[in-house]
Amino acid sequence: MLSVAGADHIITMDLHASQIQGFFDIPVDNLYAEPAVLKWIRENISEWRNCTIVSPDAGGAKRVTSIADRLNVDFALIHKERKKANEVDRMVLVGDVKDRVAILVDDMADTCGTICHAADKLLSAGATRVYAILTHGIFSGPAISRINNACFEAVVVTNTIPQEDKMKHCSKIQVIDISMILAEAIRRTHNGESVSYLFSHVPL
């Protein structure tokens, strides 16, 4: 649809599957929220050196290992066995979070059932505090009430989706502004400069 509508270049952020880029016959730049996430963790979590980065499912393992490597901390993942779509049956924590700050990282959260379950699991496994950092906060259906009732210190999302209304109903939601990353990507594209710099750096 985008191609047919006349787009000749697409800039995306944290595609759910990076293979999606291959479906276009025009250039696609898939930017990452990771540099902004790393910056937020260093600036807002005082004891980040004693944290564990946790993936709420096996599919996000690559994302959390990348962040954990760059912070030089441990990572863990939660293996979930589903009975049917959108229903989590059993969660198994692989890794150690005892006496540590646990930071759940995922690319998006919709109804937030998985991350709220995961947060409970982490607390029962001995985590001192639990944060969630998500690129796309969809927050549909019961998501906001689930977050309000869950044990998160904060649920941090980027503003790829506007969050002003959601923030009014949930004090735990905090927003990382990624407008500068997109603006810089557009500027670099327009001037024929390298966009790949933004894969690992936050523009100043």
- pLDDT at residue number 90: 83
Strands (E), 69-170: 74-84, 87-94, 101-109, 129-137, 152-158
| Gyration radius (Cα) of the chain, Å | 17
Q: How far apart are CA 30 and CA 138, in angstroms?
A: 19
C-alpha torsion sign, points 138, 106, 12, 194: positive
With respect to residue 80, please indicate whether it lies within any of the assigned structural domains.
yes
- pLDDT at residue number 87: 66
Query: Contact 173/137 with Cβ under 8 angstroms?
Result: yes
With respect to residue 63, please indicate whether it lies within any of the assigned structural domains.
yes
With respect to residue 166, please indicate whether it lies within any of the assigned structural domains.
yes
Q: How far apart are CA 178 and CA 187, in angstroms?
A: 14
In the chain, which residues have pLDDT < 70? 82, 85-88
Cα–Cα distances in Å, from 90 out to 30, 75, 76, 121, 198? 33, 20, 16, 10, 38
CATH of the domain at 63: 3.40.50.2020
- pLDDT at residue number 26: 95
With respect to residue 134, please indicate whether it lies within any of the assigned structural domains.
yes
Query: Contact 133/104 with Cβ under 8 angstroms?
Result: yes
Return the number of other C-beta atoms located less than 10 Å from residue 79's C-beta: 12
With respect to residue 26, please indicate whether it lies within any of the assigned structural domains.
no
Question: Considering only CA atoms, which of 199, 204, 203 is closest in space to residue 33?
Answer: 199
Please indicate, yes or no, whether the overall pTM of this predicted structure exceeds 0.75. Answer: yes
Return the number of other C-beta atoms located less than 10 Å from residue 39's C-beta: 13
Question: Considering only CA atoms, which of 41, 42, 11 is closest in space to residue 24?
Answer: 11
- pLDDT at residue number 81: 74
Split into its structural domains, the chain has a count of 1
With respect to residue 118, please indicate whether it lies within any of the assigned structural domains.
yes
With respect to residue 197, please indicate whether it lies within any of the assigned structural domains.
no
| Structural domain span for residue 51 | 33-177
With respect to residue 24, please indicate whether it lies within any of the assigned structural domains.
no
**Token output for 131:** 């944060």
- pLDDT at residue number 80: 77
